Structure 1
């Protein structure tokens, strides 16, 4: 199955509020339309968690600016200097599903760095959830073979594509406050 067909099948599932299992720029992820509250509920139910804030991916800086109230200048410096995929937690967002946000209304967003995710999100024209493909409390799968059967059967579409990075690790997470506070949550 070719790349474009996979992208189109993902978009069809996402537009209908469904869930995809896909290789992100870090680890395998469960994805949905990050603006669709019902789709986010499906992700939370599948993982067995209550909303505590989920990471979502955007395709570029322009999309980031459409979904974050105010992107601090420091965010661009961090993204330019990062040597691995880096998720930034912003104080306020706009246009995203409310149940995607953390309890303090902050939002975790990463600008995708791999070809598949950039192309998918760019064509979908909206952010996509990128939460790890595991049940709450279990280990993050490092590769496709480690993904729990409940996750595999709980999504609407599995992207049959090798990730660009094999045995990848989750992204770094940095919280940037509008007050200038910088906090490293995960290296």
Structure 2
């Protein structure tokens, strides 16, 4: 991943082209939305474009998805399985460092922060699954409520047997098939 280096004009143009093709190919994810509106917002928010690029280069296949009733424009990781470059991570730094042996290389919270993206909440994850089924072989860490995290746990979700499942695990746990999905909200300007 590019890590805090601004995108060049060529990179911006290439990314916008990729996003436009994905947007047009998957119109059911964002009915009645014109690409020109999205593109204009992207052009005026280069910091958001940078974050979306981080999602793209780590395997997230970001696309526009409506996650709320306000029809806010979010770019969300829509890859069929959790993004490959964002797997085998503990939930947060405390969970990561609490492992004395076989410590994971990183954690979800710090990596998401470095990418300037937000984790999906349980509500977001359920909304995403209504638009595109994901995580049939993998799972994704989700933003965990403080009361659960305070007791040492963290939540994650997947899709099995035609249903969305939300589970819990210790925050120090990590698996080759568990990653995380993020979102970037485009602002009004």
Q: Which has the higher helix share?
A: 2
User: Which structure has the bigger radius of gyration?
Assistant: 2
TM > 0.5 fold call: no
Q: Please report the TM-score for the alignment, with normalisation by the length of structure 2.
A: 0.25
Q: Which has the higher contact order (CA 8 A, sep 6+)?
A: 1
